[in-house]
Amino acid sequence: MTTATMQVSQKDFEKAQEQLKLLKKDPGNETKLKLYALFKQATEGPCNSPKPGMLDFVKKAKWDAWNSLGNLSQDNARQKYTELVSSLISAESAGQTKDASPKESRHGGYETIIVSTENNITKIMFNRPERKNAINHQMYREIIKALHEAGKDDSTIAVITGNGEYYTSGNDLNNFANVKPNEMEKMAKDGAELLKEFVSSFIDFPKPLIAVVNGPAIGISVTLLGLCDIVYASDRATFHTPFSQLGQSPEGCSSYLFPKIMGLAKANEMLLFNKKLTAAQAYAWGLVTEVFPDGTFQKEVWERLKAYASLPKNSLAVSKQLLRSMEKEKLHAVNSKECEVLKERWLSDECLNAIVSFFQRKSKL
């Protein structure tokens, strides 16, 4: 984790320099001197230039600020610089959004998810914590509806996350339970249609979509991360796609996107051999954008997202659509193919035995 934390810190440092340029208000001379000193310390180490003359006020103030940092390490200076920028950005965005959007507004009509909008962000939250947020048929349908509405509402970005300990444990295996033998074909056909529509609503989502992975993620909730634009994860999160173990096959366009994201060899370990990744591994393999300590995860992530959601909405939407347009047709074709294969898998003995084992409590992941 140490290496990952250092990498994250360097990446944050570079992002912070970019974010600083977006500040609309001048933060004042004292803060600017602090930023200058931390930047010099982070990039060059302790102050090593000769002290300017007493009458060169500006240079002397800068030199004093840098020199006052003594032997602060470059890593610590990067960290402090990043934190300072982040606090300036959130203070500004809190000020800007105060009057425009003072309260969270909750969207009605959902039972398995919570949908709300605040600070130009529509949040879709899996909400069956007692079932580890397993996705039943109703939840698939409600997420399709929520994404459709979020795509058209006034929000700038949308976020998908989980309530409680889990992000989600993936497909609710009860979706396969209590099906009579003569209804198996229909169950598989209806399931494949629902899945195709569900994944399509991620492929076609017109605004930036951010996954906030608060805890363990399993199955389809992991594959869908490839269709999200940013993935933030708590260091408590894990990423598991146990398709072979369940006698099933990859979905969510992962058979195409995972090899692109992490390379074929690593995608094979996840999609064929059920390799479960820690958050640090998922970050190293490119599936996750950034990992945060669980203790500060919510605070850090939402502060960051608030700042992003104050960027120009239309510019973000057209840029997202431009990026997605290069791949859209291909993604729909992959989705169709994956659903076709899964429809057959759901009728196989391998899959049925795995479901029976789960319910007999012989097998848990």
Ligand X SMILES: CCCCCC/C=C/C(=O)SCCNC(=O)CCNC(=O)[C@H](O)C(C)(C)COP(=O)(O)OP(=O)(O)OC[C@H]1O[C@@H](n2cnc3c(N)ncnc32)[C@H](O)[C@@H]1OP(=O)(O)O
C-alpha separations of 211 from 105, 170, 175, 202, 226 in Å: 20, 14, 24, 12, 10
Give the residue among 158, 163, 160 at the shortest CA–CA distance from 127.
163
DSSP secondary structure string, 163-206? SSS-SB--B-GGGGTT--GGGHHHHHHHHHHHHHHHHHHHHT--
Partnered with residue 334 across adjacent β-strands are none
Q: Identify which range of 95-103, 110-118, 244-252, 262-270 contacts ligand X by CB under 6 A.
A: 244-252
Q: Which of 34, 62, 123, 132 binds ligand X (CB under 6 A)?
A: 132
The footprint of ligand X on residues 310-329 (CB under 6 A) is none
Strand 277-278 vs strand 238-240: parallel, antiparallel, or unpaired? antiparallel
Stretch that binds ligand X, among 19-27, 52-60, 102-110, 169-177 (CB under 6 A): 169-177
Selected from 162, 208, 219, 226, the binder of ligand X by CB under 6 A is: 219
Size of the site for ligand X (CB under 6 A): 23
The least distance separating ligand X from the CB of residue 173, rounded to whole angstroms, comes to 4
User: For ligand X, which is the closer residue by CB, 117 or 335?
Assistant: 335
Distance, in Å, from the CA atom of 90 to the CA atom of 95, rounded to the nearest integer, reads 8
Binding mask 138-167 for ligand X (x = CB under 6 A): --x---------------------------
Q: Is 365 in the site for ligand X (CB under 6 A)?
A: yes
Decide if 194 contacts 343 (C-beta within 8 A).
Answer: no
CB 315 within 8 A of CB 308: no
Least spacing, CB of residue 190 vs ligand X, in Å: 8
Our CA angle for 196, 147, 12, nearest 5°, is 105
- Segment near ligand X (CB under 6 A); pick from 31-39, 79-87, 151-159, 173-181: 173-181
Determine which residue in the list 121, 159, 188, 195 makes contact with ligand X, applying CB under 6 A. 195
Residue 250 binds ligand X (CB under 6 A): no
String of contacts with ligand X for each residue 26-65, x by CB under 6 A: ----------------------------------------
Nearer to ligand X, 191 or 208 (CB): 191
Q: Are 191 and 180 in contact (CB under 8 A)?
A: no
Which residue, 30 or 193, is less far from ligand X as judged by CB? Answer: 193
Backbone angles phi, psi at 323, to 5 degrees: -60, -45
How far is Cα of residue 108 from the mean position of the Cα atoms in its chain?
A: 25
- Burial class of residue 190 (count of CB atoms within 10 Å of its CB; 0-12, 13-18, 19+): middle
Indicate the residue among 93 and 169 with the shorter CB distance to ligand X.
169
Q: Of the listed pieces 6-14, 141-149, 214-222, 256-264, which binds ligand X according to CB under 6 A?
A: 214-222
- Asked if 187 and 342 touch (Cβ cutoff 8 Å), the reply is no
Q: How far is CA 147 from CA 201, 202, 254, in A?
A: 7, 8, 20
Shortest Cβ 78–ligand X spacing (Å): 37
Contacting residue, 220, 224, 288, 291, with ligand X by CB under 6 A:
220
Q: Which residue is nearest to ligand X (CB)?
A: 219
Q: Which spans of this chain sit near ligand X (rule: CB under 6 A)? A: 131-132, 134, 140, 169-175, 191, 194-195, 218-220, 246, 248, 251, 358, 364-365
